[in-house]
């Protein structure tokens, strides 16, 4: 049910983006209804972690094996909507950069699937890196305050293989260095330090794109 709520608000986010509405205001209004509540109604890049996708797909499998294809398809759409939310956000980043990343540095702040953890299992940022790398950027810079940089690099290597483009991925030890000379900064995981600690005044601020 929690995964379903996340996919539901992300679907509403796409509608809001097309109409110029504020999805946060919509979520606030919906959450006031005590029958619904305001938990897990924050639009973003999609859910990750080891449980949500696995558990939903287990439910899909059970429904299919019990001869309930409509039920299985219903829950399958929760996962599909999650993937759509991630891909829509990534494509939005590319579109904001004039549909090309060639020669540009893009910074991703946050890599774990949620804040205050080093757990990167099924993290949306991993697939985002893969998609952005296909656009041949000069550099993809990554910083996560909880994740070991060596672990991040190894996970990306396992996903992509030993390709030449890996040299364009740099994992930094702090956010300021990661953002230096970036064309765009993507906040993929909402760590409080990204919200509360503004960087030193740069001569030309980069485009900052939060994942919501």
Beta-carbon count within 10 A of 19 CB: 7
Residue positions annotated with a catalytic role: 51
List the beta bridge partners of residue 140: 106, 169
Distance from C-alpha of 31 to C-alpha of 186, rounded to nearest angstrom: 27
DSSP secondary structure string, 15-81?
HHHHHT--HHHHHHHHHHSTTT-STT---SS---SSSHHHHHHHHHHHHHHTT-HHHHHHHHHHHHH
């Amino acid at each position: 049910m929690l995964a379903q709520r996340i996919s539901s608000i992300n679907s509403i986010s796409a509608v809001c983006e097309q109409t110029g509405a504020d999805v946060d205001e919509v979520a606030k209004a919906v959450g006031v209804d005590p029958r619904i509540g305001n938990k897990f109604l924050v639009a973003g890049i999609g859910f990750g972690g080891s449980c949500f996708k696995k558990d939903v797909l287990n439910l899909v499998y059970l429904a299919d094996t019990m001869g309930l294809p409509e039920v299985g398809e219903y829950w399958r759409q929760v996962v599909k909507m999650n993937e759509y939310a991630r891909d829509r956000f990534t494509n939005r980043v590319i579109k904001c950069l004039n549909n090309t990343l060639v020669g540009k540095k893009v910074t991703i702040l946050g890599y774990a699937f949620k804040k205050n953890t080093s757990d990167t299992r099924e993290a949306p940022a991993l697939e985002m890196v893969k998609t952005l790398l296909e656009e041949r950027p000069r550099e993809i810079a990554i910083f996560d305050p909880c994740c070991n940089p060596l672990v991040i690099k190894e996970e990306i290597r396992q996903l992509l293989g030993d390709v030449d483009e890996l040299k364009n991925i740099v994992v930094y030890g702090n956010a300021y260095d990661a953002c230096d000379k970036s064309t765009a900064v993507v906040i993929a995981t909402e760590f409080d330090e990204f919200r509360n600690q503004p960087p030193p005044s740069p001569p030309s601020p980069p485009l900052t794109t939060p994942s919501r």
